[in-house]
Amino acid sequence: MNSKAEIYAVATGTGSYIPPVVVENAAFANNLFLNEDGSKIESPGEEIVEKFEQITDIKERRCADKKHVTSDLATFAALEALQAANFDPENLDYIIVAHNVGDVRYGTIYPDVLPTMASRVKYKLKIRNPKTVAYDITFGCPGWTQAMIQANYYIKSGDAKSALVIGADTLSRVMDPHDRDAMIFADGAGAVVLEARESEEPVGILKHAVRTDSFEHIDLLHMDDSYNPELKGENLYLKMYGRRLYNYALTNVPLLAKECLDLNGMELADVKKVLIHQANAKMDEAILKRLFRLYGVRNVNLDVMPMTIRTLGNSSVATVPTLFDLIMRQKLEGHTLESGDNVMMTSVGAGMNINAFMYKMP
Each residue's pLDDT tens digit, 93-145: 999 999 999 999 998 888 899 999 999 999 999 999 999 999 999 999 999 99
Q: Which of 199, 223, 252 is the last residue of a domain?
A: 199
Q: Which of 179, 199, 219 is the last residue of a domain?
A: 199
Question: Are residues 177 and 208 located together in one domain of the fold?
Answer: no
Distance CA 186, CA 208 (A): 27
Question: Are residues 136 and 237 located together in one domain of the fold?
Answer: no
DSSP 8-state symbol, 173 = G
- On the question of a cis peptide bond just before residue 358, with omega within 30 degrees of 0, the verdict is no
Question: Are residues 182 and 226 located together in one domain of the fold?
Answer: no
Question: Are residues 234 and 173 located together in one domain of the fold?
Answer: no
CB 168 within 8 A of CB 315: no
Per-residue pLDDT, 2: 47
Distance CA 240, CA 348 (A): 13
Question: Are residues 291 and 182 located together in one domain of the fold?
Answer: no
Kindly state whether residue 1 falls inside one of the protein's structural domains. no
Each residue's pLDDT tens digit, 32-87: 999 998 999 989 989 999 999 998 999 999 999 999 999 999 999 999 999 999 99
Closest CA to 189 of 210, 207, 208, 164: 164
Per-residue pLDDT, 360: 98
Burial profile 74-101: b = 16 or more Cβ within 10 angstroms, e = fewer = bbbbbbbbbebbebebeebbbbbbbbbb
CB 247 within 8 A of CB 278: no
Kindly state whether residue 92 falls inside one of the protein's structural domains. yes
Question: Are residues 243 and 193 located together in one domain of the fold?
Answer: no
Question: Are residues 131 and 268 located together in one domain of the fold?
Answer: no
Please give the average per-residue pLDDT across 283-305, as a whole number: 92
Provide the domain count of the chain: 2
Question: Are residues 175 and 315 located together in one domain of the fold?
Answer: no
Question: Are residues 356 and 262 located together in one domain of the fold?
Answer: yes
Closest CA to 314 of 61, 48, 71: 61
Element (DSSP H or E) covering residue 74:
helix 70-85
Question: Are residues 209 and 194 located together in one domain of the fold?
Answer: no
CB 124 within 8 A of CB 103: no
Report the relative pairing of strands 221-224 and 237-240 from DSSP bridges.
antiparallel
Kindly state whether residue 356 falls inside one of the protein's structural domains. yes
Give the three-state DSSP class for 56. helix
Range of the domain at 92: 6-199
Kindly state whether residue 267 falls inside one of the protein's structural domains. yes
* CATH number of the domain where residue 273 is located: 3.40.47.10
pLDDT band per the 50, 70, 90 thresholds, residue 4: confident
CB 164 within 8 A of CB 95: yes
pLDDT band per the 50, 70, 90 thresholds, residue 1: very low
Question: Are residues 159 and 257 located together in one domain of the fold?
Answer: no
Hey, how many other C-beta atoms are within 10 angstroms of the C-beta on 3?
Answer: 5
Question: Are residues 283 and 161 located together in one domain of the fold?
Answer: no
Give the three-state DSSP class for 17. strand
Q: Which of 163, 183, 199 is the last residue of a domain?
A: 199
Kindly state whether residue 100 falls inside one of the protein's structural domains. yes
